[in-house]
Amino acid sequence: MKRDLFVTDFWEFDFPYHQQFKSQILEYVSRPHAQQHIEIHSSETQELSNPSLNSYGGDELPFEDDKNIFSFFQTQIKKLLLKIQSEHDWDKGEWGNIDPWLNINQKGNFNPPHIHPGNDYSGCYYISFPEDSGFIHFLDPRPQHRFSSPNPRSDNERENWYFSKNKYDSSFFTYPIKEGKVAIFPSWLMHYVDPNKNDNLRISIAFNAKFNQFYDS
């Protein structure tokens, strides 16, 4: 019998009404105040960027000023979180406010390894994902695992063991992003995003969530 110990849960869902909601988001991004926000951030990013790395970050655009879009997104994500709650048998308490923001990634934008402290679950809904615009990677949270790989099978594997794709000895997981999908994971799980190599924008909505039961006094 095989048992998987200390499993890290990772969830993938289809976002309901994706095409309609995508149209609303793209229209929102085209509004003058959003375009101004993106242009200001782009100029600031270029000044701070390491030329060898090319445009760190991307624009984090809040969108709570559009109550309809904001409320609809929160409602749909909370429904998905309730499915996770049921799977974990958390039968008391409820999810607090969902804290979302738009990620607008222009060509060259990327995100270095990071976590989302102070939250229980985080996630990302992929709205527009052009070809070759980068993937998101999740790192094994067990640091000692990186130094205890089984005996490599060849010199080449010995040199590249860190990047193994084997299910049981890989040090990272690359999520195969698709438009309309929502990925949800524990907020402590380290992850990073590749640079966008496409001339078109990579657009997603990231979010954080807390389970109120854990914070009751």
Q: Residue 158: its pLDDT value, please? A: 43
pLDDT at 48 over 50: no
Q: Would you kindly state where each structural domain of the chain is located, as residue ranges?
A: 11-135+177-212, 143-175
Tokens matching residue 67:
């109550």
More confident residue, 3 or 189: 189
Residue linked to tokens 């615009």 = 133
Contacts of 107 (CB under 8 A, 6+ apart): 55, 196, 197, 198, 199
pLDDT at 100 over 90: yes
Tokens matching residue 107:
């060509």
- C-alpha 64/C-alpha 179 separation (Å) is 22
Q: Is 0.85 surpassed by the pTM of this model?
A: no
Query: Is the CATH number of domain 11-135+177-212 2.60.120.620?
Result: yes
pLDDT at 129 over 80: yes
Phi, psi (5° rounding) for residue 7? -70, 135
More confident residue, 2 or 72: 72
| Sheet strands (E) in 91-190 | 99-105, 111-114, 121-128, 136-139, 172-175, 181-186
pLDDT at 148 over 70: no
